[in-house]
């Protein structure tokens, strides 16, 4: 009985040690560390519906036999010029239409580049959405030591039917 208790304590100690080693601030700032959140602070996403399925079908003349429509309508950074330490709003407007009105799993990933080098990306923000046009916004706080210059935001949206990607630039003073 004590033999198994000892193994349990050793296993628990090793797990605790591994968890603490992942919480080292220097490790989190290294490029590629867990591939997420390496540059700035990402807030919680907010999403709202802009236009429903029937309105989009009427506007665009969508025919359900045409398959799935996945489109990034607009990707923007508000404001598109900011100072170091400022909080920006990263906004993504997209449209999804499928032959049936069902909720689809959607993944949105955002990645920031400076001088063609990736500085960090959000974890894939996965939701289930119905057909329509939606806007998702997320706050992003620039680090106080961000270098001045032109940055690029690459936004990618994926469903089981396909992927769409768009890019926008913003300036840090």
Question: Residue ranges per domain, the chain?
Answer: 1-30, 34-172
pTM for the predicted model, two decimal places: 0.67
Q: What percent of the chain has pLDDT over 90?
A: 31
pLDDT of 38 strictly over 70: no
Averaged over 16-28, what is the pLDDT?
46
Lowest mean pLDDT among 23-27, 40-44, 62-66, 75-79: 23-27
Considering only the C-alpha atoms of the chain, give the largest distance between any 2 of them, rounded to a whole number of Å. Answer: 72
Could you give the residue ranges of the DSSP H alpha helices within the chain?
2-21, 25-28, 53-60
**Helix (H/G/I), strand (E/B), else coil: 34:** helix
Q: Classify 79 as helix, strand or coil.
A: coil
Architecture of domain 34-172 in CATH?
Sandwich (2.60)
Q: Is the pLDDT of residue 30 over 70?
A: no
């Amino acid at each position: 009985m004590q033999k198994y208790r000892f193994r349990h304590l050793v296993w628990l100690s090793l797990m605790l040690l591994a968890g603490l080693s992942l919480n080292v601030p220097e490790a989190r700032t290294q490029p590629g560390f867990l591939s997420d959140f390496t540059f700035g602070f990402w807030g919680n996403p907010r999403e709202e519906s802009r236009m429903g399925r029937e309105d989009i079908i009427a506007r665009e003349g969508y025919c359900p036999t045409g398959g799935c429509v996945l489109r990034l309508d607009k990707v923007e950074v508000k404001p598109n010029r900011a100072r170091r330490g400022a909080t920006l709003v990263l906004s993504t407007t997209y449209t999804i239409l499928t032959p049936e009105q069902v909720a689809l799993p959607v993944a949105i990933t955002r990645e920031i580049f400076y001088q063609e080098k990736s500085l960090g990306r959000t974890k894939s923000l996965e939701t289930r959405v119905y057909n329509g046009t939606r806007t998702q916004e997320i706050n992003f706080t620039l680090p106080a030591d961000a270098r001045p210059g032109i940055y690029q935001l690459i936004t990618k949206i994926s469903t089981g039917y396909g992927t769409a990607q768009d890019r926008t630039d913003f300036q840090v003073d």
